[in-house]
Amino acid sequence: MLLDVNGIQKILPHRYPFLLVDAIEEMEPKKRIVGIKNVTVNEIYFQGHFPGKPVMPGVLIIESMAQTGGVLLLNEVPDRDKKLIYFVAIDNARFRRPVLPGDQLRLELIVHSCRGTFCKLEGRASVGGELVAEATMMCKMVDMEADASQVAEPAENMR
């Protein structure tokens, strides 16, 4: 393990109950990362999704992938405590099977391209070697103090 949850919290601004990556197993700076999310029955969203039949919401699987990618993108940024990464697009999201309590998500992200403050990542989530979700995500790094209107549509050549 390269980073545990304490190391991740030194890079990402997310905190409980919205920190959705528990460990980083592999990382090639600016290229690739593998993270782990241990899905437990104690997750707060299982109270309502769904009572008696807990299933991890797909949007939170995507968010787990995004946070893992955020560790990769922010890791090399010297003033990362003053930066945020916002989604600007999520394309081709596919969900193959439900993620249940007790599952361990393996989150693999590859940097497809980066231009300026925009990056495009290809993400895959698997459980026990079986693909459960995938998506292409685009994000933009902004100054934490900046107005949210800074987030604009990425250049067409990023798609």
Q: Which of 25, 49, 95, 100 is catalytic?
A: 49
Determine whether 49 is an active site residue: yes
Placement of tokens 């403050």 in the chain: 117
Q: Looking at residue 64, what is its pLDDT?
A: 98
Q: Looking at residue 72, what is its pLDDT?
A: 98
Q: How far apart are CA 31 and CA 110, in angstroms?
A: 6
Q: Looking at residue 66, what is its pLDDT?
A: 98
Cα-based angle 45, 75, 124 (whole degrees, multiple of 5): 50
Query: What are the average pLDDT values for consecutive 10-residue runs of the chain, which has 159 residues?
Result: 97 96 97 98 96 97 98 95 95 98 98 96 98 98 81 58
Tokens standing for residue 9: 């919290």
CA distances from 4 to 25, 73, 102, 115, 123 (A): 9, 17, 19, 29, 20
Q: Looking at residue 146, what is its pLDDT?
A: 79
* CATH number of the domain bearing residue 68: 3.10.129.10
Q: How far apart are CA 39 and CA 62, in angstroms?
A: 14
Range of the domain at 77: 5-158
State the total domains in the chain: 1
